[in-house]
Structure 1
Amino acid sequence: MTLERNIAASFQMDEATWARHANPWSVWTRFTVLPLLILAIWSRVWLGWWCLIPVTIVMGWMWLNPRIFPKPNSTNNWASKAVLGERVWLNRDNIPVPKHHQRVPNILSVVSTSGVIFLIWGLSALNVWPTLLGVILVYLGKLWFIDRMVWLYEDMKDVEAEYSHWLY
């Protein structure tokens, strides 16, 4: 089982949740999680251990986000296709993806992960510059990754009948 599939499983992403997460509002509002988490962690300067309350709220928002928006009226848009592509990527053990899609998503995950390292450093030292560098790397890697997922979905939607039914 891939790391991504383990993460999806920890978020309890079933068919209904994936369908709701394909709502562009879910995709775009998910980008609020990182800045809110940074602010919550940084708040330890003012709140001490009470910062765990906003951290918990942000983590709750991250879990709740793919569930609170309705299933979109259409998935024929960039944000929805990004989510559909992520589902294809998660299923690559069962239905292989083309060679030209196998390497770049992993490289982009490394870019995002390197950003997390800078974020941890910046947040632990309360240093703005590594924190900002971390945010830039995380978002650069993630946005490029989801753009690749749109491309992956476009390439795979006609390969597998189930995938083509996700587009409406």
Structure 2
Amino acid sequence: MGMDEATWARHANPWSAWSRVTILPLLALAIWSRVWIGGWALLPVVAVLLWIWLNPRLFPVPDTTDAWMTQAVLGERDWLAHGDKPEVAHHRPTVRLLTGASGLGSVVLIAGLVWLNLSLTLLGLVLAMGGKLWLMDVMVRARRDLAAAGRDTVSI
């Protein structure tokens, strides 16, 4: 997505991060809309793709980093920089499990959308989104562990 430091700082706004939770359901609905509007379904798909790009650029940098979702976004960046450090080693199995669950959910979601199977689509959404949200909580805890150990954490 080509996010630079300024874009990441804006994405740390809880309004940005929480509104991104809408992306998978909106994308699923846009793809499913081919049933109702045929080839015109490309328009809502393009709109969702535009939303994916625009969202982290739309909101201002948050005034504070106290919000849970702000900590989750910053924690993701901390994990990318320090996920191999011993202070967060105990989080690695959970991160792998939740990343796998989200990935599996994405595969199930895609299958549901291809076959227009509502049960698979909803199961895929639950797995992908549930795994991601739980992972965000792990990122908050990992960020706290890194800070407690004196590691540099991302600031905005």
TM-superposition CA deviations, 1:49-83 (whole Å, max 9, x none): 22112111101101111110000010112110000
Provide the C-alpha distance between the structure 2 equivalents of 1:25 and 1:119, rounded to a whole number of angstroms. Answer: 25
- 2:71 counterpart residue number: 81
TM-score (structure 2 length as normaliser): 0.92
- 2:55 counterpart residue number: 65
Provide the C-alpha distance between the structure 2 equivalents of 1:118 and 1:102, rounded to a whole number of angstroms. Answer: 24
**How many residues are paired up?**
154
In structure 1, which of residues 87, 91, 96 is the aligned counterpart of residue 85 of structure 2?
96
Return the offset for 1:121: 1.3
Note the residue ranges of structure 1 that are not aligned, 5 or more in a row: 1-10
Query: Which 4+ stretches in 1 moved above 4 angstroms?
Result: none
- 2:100 counterpart residue number: 110
Note the residue ranges of structure 2 that are not aligned, 5 or more in a row: none
- 1:160 counterpart residue number: 151
Provide the C-alpha distance between the structure 2 equivalents of 1:91 and 1:60, rounded to a whole number of angstroms. Answer: 28
Within 5 Å, give how 1:132-143 maps onto structure 2: 132-143=122-133
Task: Answer yes or no: is 1:149 the counterpart of 2:119.
Answer: no
Identity over aligned pairs, percent: 51
CA RMSD of aligned residues (A): 1.6
3-state DSSP of counterpart to 1:102: helix
Provide the C-alpha distance between the structure 2 equivalents of 1:149 and 1:38, rounded to a whole number of angstroms. Answer: 26
Provide the C-alpha distance between the structure 2 equivalents of 1:75 and 1:30, rounded to a whole number of angstroms. Answer: 18
